[in-house]
Structure 1
């Protein structure tokens, strides 16, 4: 057989972390196939790209490309191994004849090749699920997108479709919930732009309280700042009880909810809800969109945490990820209800057509400055 320098002699490899269990599964699988090439027909669907090690994938691809040898000839000559090595080297120059022999030697039982292949598929599923979750997180945080909510929901759909594909590949079994402790949701962005939009919503809602009847798609949990969420509850409670709404009545309601207990001055609270700009629905959609993106990022972080725990089986990953995505569903439904022209109308509300736009803020030169209350 051909010989080449053994890459394992490179001193830099001493600094590498120890191999993961899938590395040994890949070695055992390749060793079984090198020893008994006919087992390629027994391992089920497996692609070269599903190997975690590029050289392993290249070697597997070469095995599938090179015609299988005669069994009797293969037992007495290394000709087929040489052919496989020559076919794999253009994609993996570091492969050596010695490494192929090592693969054969480290395979415990060649007849267990189907089990080794399942391990390779399972680890690939975990890595791909993590990749989809990371893409969802990145999309939800990409401020350069022209329509971030639409792009984020499209990425969530892609992740959901991938989970459907995985569920058809891995049979369910009892005890399918991940045991990984989910991470806390990432903190919401409370930058000045975010707070300014929420202040504008509260002020315009005080100026136009009747419109709150048609804004049940917005909830207090959608606000980034707890104070603003509590003030929204004050407003919706006043409207629900049919009481007058103005800065004074909002202040009185806020006092009953202990919102003034943390040092918030009554005059500051009234000033916060006294500078209307545009319409409540315009600002409400902005608040809801930010809540949608924040929830998508939290869901992505949760799924990523599941995939980073190698103790989770593929079905545990599928079940846990589906439940995480379900946390996005209700908020997404509210978002679609208010932003799509085909959303079913609620009582007393006419569906919005694409030609109708929300009333936004006036030009910057005439917009009143919002007070910085946090």
Structure 2
């Protein structure tokens, strides 16, 4: 197996694989109401929107004015809920983005967010079964695509999809230079194996929550939700994860991006060539609960009791990371996937590869923070992203370690 140069082609579409779509309902309580189990709650308003992790990624990319020929590989169920989601996606992204959409016979699930002053609670319905013929239809649509320049796997799969579905999709659409962001642990061993066995492949980043990484790696954590997971536990989990998935993880991955809510994030960059040593960096994250207010933009003019909306923030991180990574790895600096005011803050971080990966993930983290200010999942304002990206601290090198 050989890594191709870190620069990628500018042509080819960006494919977001979000197989488990949903209709998103937001049940918003009055500003001073807290969610109390057993109590009757009357909503201030109810909103309907697009749900599903891959779909949330596409929403954020649209907010960022991403110009990467975006397409969604997805199942959008039948019935009124599915029709509503399909129409919303067409209105948001256009008909071309829906070329890889399959409408299965089963219905569309509804996910409900109960937004209170102190928390947001998510109620997730199960998805209907996807038939074998419907999986085959999706693969047929993907086979008709040209090689994509950027690829993102996001979220779970609906029942009926084989465990190697993501691996099969990678084999079909990924070329020698395709950058790939993985934001799921479903089918992960099969996907890593498929990438590692490809004779030549582009860079690949695994984005994962710190708690999920520790759980997968079998690392017990001592920190509570308020204090975050310690850097030592993170480093132990990274090494254990790489050892568990040896040799495929090392051969497939260029980096592991680790989020921990409002706590510092981490990026582990993989060894190259015959080296066996990986490096770990810590990246500061703005904590909106402790941010000084008022801040100089309209979204924070509502006073000190501003409600935060964290549902979909992780998907905004994935979208922002992918968009910035695509911008930084493009051969043609004049053909950016982001508008000038956003690409300008990234232009000095194109090389070396590690610097580009750190900058892309930092930009993604700023997107995740900015999305918490907006009621709708994964929606953000570019000026908020610029504020958080420009004021964020620089990544700090923590340590290096060897894979077992």
Q: TM-score, normalised by structure 2?
A: 0.21
Identify, as 1 or 2, the structure richer in helix.
1
Q: TM-score, normalised by structure 1?
A: 0.22
